[in-house]
Amino acid sequence: MTKMSLKNFLLLFLLFLCSANGFAQKSDSNEGLRLSELDDFWREVSRTISDGDFEAYAATFHEKAILVTAINDKSYPIADALERWKKDIDDTRAGLRKSSVEFRFSKRIGDSTTAHESGIFHYSYEEDGERGSDYIHFEALLIKENGWKMMMEYQKSKATKEEWDLLK
C-alpha cells in the first residue's frame, strides 16, 4: 500500500468505526424505547387483572392469538381461554375476588414491531377466604400493530418462588 492509500484506508476505517458507534447508540435508544413500551404493555395487563377489566384484558391479545400450555398439553385460540377466564375477571370487578398478576423477564428479544418475551408470571387471587398463587414459566410472542398485542402466550411449566426471586 502506498502512503496515500494507507492514510485513506485508516481514515475510512475510522469513519466506519465512528458511524458504527453512532448506529449502536441509536439502536440502544430504540431498544430502550421498545422495552419501555413493552413494560407499559405488561403493566396494562397487570392493571386489567387487578381491576377486573375484561374488555381491556381481552384487547391486549391479537384477535387470532393462541394459548399454548405445556402444563396441560393443549393449544387453542385465546378466545376460548378468555371465555373460561371471564367469570374470574368479572368477579374481580364486582369485588367478589381479588386477583393480581406480575411479570419478570429472563430474556427479551425483538425489534420495533416484534417481541419474544420469556420469564415468569406470578398470578395470585383471594376468593371466599381462599388464597391461591401460581408461578408460571412463560413465553409471549407480540406484534406491534396499533400498540403491542400478544399473538401467543405459552405457559411452559410451573415455577418456584425461588426462581421468581432470581429474576428481580
What SS3 class is residue 2? coil
Q: Which three cell numbers stand for residue 41?
A: 404493555
Q: Which three cell numbers stand for residue 65?
A: 392469538
pLDDT tens-place string over residues 33-81:
999 999 999 999 999 999 999 999 999 999 999 999 999 999 999 999 9
CA distance 157 to 154: 9
- Distance (Å) of CA 125 to CA 41, 44, 102: 21, 18, 12
pLDDT at 168: 81
CA distance 31 to 62: 23
Please tell me the class of the 3-166 domain: alpha beta
| Mean pLDDT, the chain, whole residue set | 89
